Amino acid sequence: MTDTEAGAAGHSPETDAVGRTPAATEEFRTARDLLLRHRDDYDAARATFRWPRPEYLAPRPAGVREGPRQPRRLPAGRPHPG
């Protein structure tokens, strides 16, 4: 759904059709908020932080690559072009 479609449907891209924030988003926000709360206390942050483990994450949007491309490897003894 595009932002325009979401606006036309009456909700933002961060909420579902009935205005709820997805659980995965809430889990990540809660983890972020904990780290912000303990930003000056490294030991407390380490002791209490747990990585979010959402049951479901939205699929990667179309046109977004998996990750950084690896450099092309050339056979040994050949100079790299350019």
C-alpha triplet 32, 38, 42: angle, nearest 5°: 110
Spell out the domain ranges in the chain.
Answer: 21-56
Of 50 and 80, the one with more pLDDT:
50
Question: What are the residues whose beta carbons fall under 8 Å from the beta carbon of 82, sequence distance 6 or more?
Answer: none
Mean pLDDT of 15-29: 75
- pLDDT tens for 62-81 read 777 776 666 666 667 666 66
Percent of the chain having pLDDT more than 70?
Answer: 49
- Give the SS3 label for residue 19: coil
Q: Are 49 and 31 in contact (CB under 8 A)?
A: yes
- Does the pLDDT value for residue 15 go beyond 90? no
Question: How far is it, in rounded angstroms, from Cα 52 to Cα 24?
Answer: 8
Can you give the pTM of this predicted structure? 0.48
